[in-house]
Amino acid sequence: MKTINGLSALIAERRSLPKVGWIFVENGFDKTSVEALLAADFNIPENEDDEFYGEDNLLTWLEIPTFLDVIEIREKNMANPTAEAIAIAAIYYLENDDFLE
């Protein structure tokens, strides 16, 4: 399992993320907190065993394709969005099952 520290680092690593799978966070993580997202440790499965471990022991945050879509749509509608703007868009998606335009 690969751990990426902070949302800015996760955004920077987006081109090297797997095409499918979940992004996991620690149990008890506040998915609705911008501050928590900015500082979170994101766990990216590198194989099937990691995926099973994450499903059994961690909390799912977003599926990787959805995370990439959140970034793409924010970039389409906002010039150079900050990590905070991406965090707000991700929270919006989680709460509304829709993308922030």
Q: What is the mean pLDDT of each run of 10 residues along the chain (101 residues)?
A: 98 96 96 96 96 96 98 94 97 94 77
Q: Residue 60 in 3-state DSSP?
A: strand
Question: Which domain range does residue 27 map to?
Answer: 2-96
What lies within 8 Å, CB to CB, of 35 at 6+ separation is: none
User: How many angstroms separate the Cα of 21 from the Cα of each of 12, 80, 85, 94?
Assistant: 18, 26, 23, 17
Looking at residue 101, its pLDDT comes to 77
- pTM of the prediction? 0.93
Number of domains in the chain: 1
User: Is position 18 within any domain?
Assistant: yes
Bin 79: left if φ > 0, else alpha if -120 < ψ < 50, else beta: beta
User: Is position 84 within any domain?
Assistant: yes
User: Is position 11 within any domain?
Assistant: yes
User: Is position 101 within any domain?
Assistant: no
Q: Residue 27 in 3-state DSSP?
A: coil
Looking at residue 4, its pLDDT comes to 98
